[in-house]
């Protein structure tokens, strides 16, 4: 795995830790956003392992679906986690009338942990 890939996975782990701290302090919308970013960084690391890099979130999500979910290199449910995380991040970061509940934030962190763990295992095993 490249140094950049390792750095992205570290950022993903830090994002999970930040999400948990934010949730504990009652910052639920920001916790959900950080959970999404954990998956986003992991998806970027996975795509980087295939020589792919994108500047837009939507492109990362679509490319992850194309190169990992549709090919079943990784479980397709991870793509759904990433899409849902992006939607929650939009609400958490930009929504002004809706607050993400504590339970919803908890439920955002769980799949983010799973996504990051699967991505890390995949990349550490040196799968091309």
Length of the chain: 128
Q: Which residues contact 84 (CB under 8 A, 6 or more apart)?
A: 108, 111
Residue 99 has pLDDT above 80, yes or no: no
Q: Which domain holds residue 41?
A: 3-124
The pLDDT assigned to 71 comes to 93
Cα-based torsion angle of the residue sequence 42, 116, 100, 87 in order, rounded to the nearest 10 degrees: 40
Contact 95, 29 (CB under 8 A): yes
Count Cβ neighbours within 10 Å for each residue of 32-54 and write b for 16 or more, e otherwise: bbbbbbbbbbbbbbbbbbeeeeb
**Averaged pLDDT, 38-59:** 93
Residue 91 has pLDDT above 50, yes or no: yes
Residue 120 pLDDT grade (very low, low, confident, very high; cuts 50, 70, 90): very high
For the chain, what percent of residues have pLDDT higher than 70?
91
**Averaged pLDDT, 80-108:** 80
The pLDDT assigned to 125 comes to 83
For the chain, what percent of residues have pLDDT higher than 90?
68
Element (H, E) at 30: helix 28-48
**Averaged pLDDT, 55-79:** 94
Helices marked H in 65-101: 77-94
Report the distance separating Cα 41 and Cα 119, nearest Å: 10
| Number of domains into which the chain is organized | 1
The pLDDT assigned to 98 comes to 67
- Which CATH number do you get for residue 104? 1.20.120.330
pTM: 0.89
């Amino acid at each position: 795995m490249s140094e950049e890939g390792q750095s992205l996975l570290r950022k993903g782990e830090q994002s999970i830790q930040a999400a948990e701290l934010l949730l504990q302090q009652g910052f639920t919308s920001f916790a959900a956003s950080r959970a999404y970013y954990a998956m986003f960084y992991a998806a970027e690391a996975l795509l980087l392992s295939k020589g792919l890099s994108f500047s837009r979130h939507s492109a990362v999500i679509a490319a992850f679906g194309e190169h990992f979910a549709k090919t079943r290199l990784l479980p397709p449910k991870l793509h759904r986690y990433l899409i849902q995380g992006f939607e929650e991040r939009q609400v958490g970061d930009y929504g002004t009338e809706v607050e993400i509940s504590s339970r919803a934030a908890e439920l955002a962190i769980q799949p983010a942990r799973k996504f990051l763990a699967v991505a890390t295992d995949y990349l550490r095993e040196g799968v091309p």
